[in-house]
Amino acid sequence: MTKDAKKDIIMRAEKLNYIYSRDTAFEHYAVKDVSFDIKNEEFIGIIGHTGSGKSTLIQHMNGLIKATSGKIFFHDTDIYSEGYDMKKLRQKVGLVFQYPEHQLFEIDVLTDVCFGPKNQGLDDEQAKERARYALSIVDIPENFYKKSPFELSGGQKRRVAIAGVLAMKPEILVLDEPTAGLDPRGRDEILDKVSQLRESEHMSVVLVSHSMEDVAKYVDRLMVMSDGRKVFDDTPKVIFRHYKELEKIGLSAPQITYIIKRLREEGLDLDEGITTIEEAREAILGLLKNNKGLDDI
């Protein structure tokens, strides 16, 4: 499907508010008036400073926490309506928590990944089939199946944890900082994989991240959170043009955006909308090839 093709809305949230505790005199909104939609096969990033409400917001998506007020529709059905099957929602909206390896607790990798499908009511053989498929698509080879999850590297543990959610065949995969604590290679491996899976498995992906570079490279749409509110919801390119406003809320555009800005100030004919290293490389090589604008510097 092309990026411009009409995409169906899978989830829609209207004016979500969330207050952790009403015991104190001062009601603190962890999420304040947030509305959003998630379309089929869309890759959405959520970014914001620490405590801005990202984790709280995504836990609404699979019903793990219930909004203090507001509505969420999954395939046009109100998930807060009476009798709604929350267990099913949790399988359809797979949430991978921060440091998911802390939740790997079974004796070996295969058994761990079987946990979700078994919980869905599949028998042993069906669950194993799902688990094998999920492990194969995150590139965990068969000789790892009988290993203890604790024998794996950081990146491998993450991939096994993601497989545990994929084995339930979710329509939306929600990842809370899946690359936290990984080295650059581990980070790229995870995000490249997730990006491929979005297409091959026809899933929507929601990625909570602290890295502007990562969201610039991977996501179609970015939601920026600040103090519980959604302050931007647009393509990364459009949002990064507002880098001054991002700075005011403790964020910044990707480093390359600032480098391009400096080069433009020096007179280089570069597009303001460059937000990734790859785009910068292309543009600068293009200039060198045409020797355009370089003589004057």
Ligand X SMILES: Nc1ncnc2c1ncn2[C@@H]1O[C@H](COP(=O)(O)OP(=O)(O)OP(=O)(O)O)[C@@H](O)[C@H]1O
For ligand X, the binding residues (CB under 6 A) are: 20-21, 30, 48, 50-56
- Rounded to a whole number of angstroms, the minimum distance from the CB of residue 118 to ligand X is 29
Alpha helices, H only, 14-153 = 54-61, 86-92, 109-119, 124-137
Amino acid at 249: I
- Rounded to a whole number of angstroms, the minimum distance from the CB of residue 177 to ligand X is 7
Q: Which is nearer to ligand X, 56 or 257 (CB)?
A: 56
Q: Across the strands, what pairs with 208?
A: 46, 176
Q: Which is nearer to ligand X, 20 or 133 (CB)?
A: 20
Residues 22 and 101: their CA atoms lie apart, in Å, by: 33
Residues 179 and 191: their CA atoms lie apart, in Å, by: 8
Q: Which is nearer to ligand X, 56 or 275 (CB)?
A: 56
Residue entry with tokens 């699979």: 62
Q: Which is nearer to ligand X, 91 or 211 (CB)?
A: 211
- Rounded to a whole number of angstroms, the minimum distance from the CB of residue 84 to ligand X is 24
43-48 and 221-226 beta bridge pairing:
parallel
- Write the CA distances from 65 to 62, 102, 209, integer angstroms: 8, 20, 20
Q: Across the strands, what pairs with 223?
A: 46, 233
- Rounded to a whole number of angstroms, the minimum distance from the CB of residue 159 to ligand X is 22
- Rounded to a whole number of angstroms, the minimum distance from the CB of residue 50 to ligand X is 4
Q: Which is nearer to ligand X, 54 or 158 (CB)?
A: 54
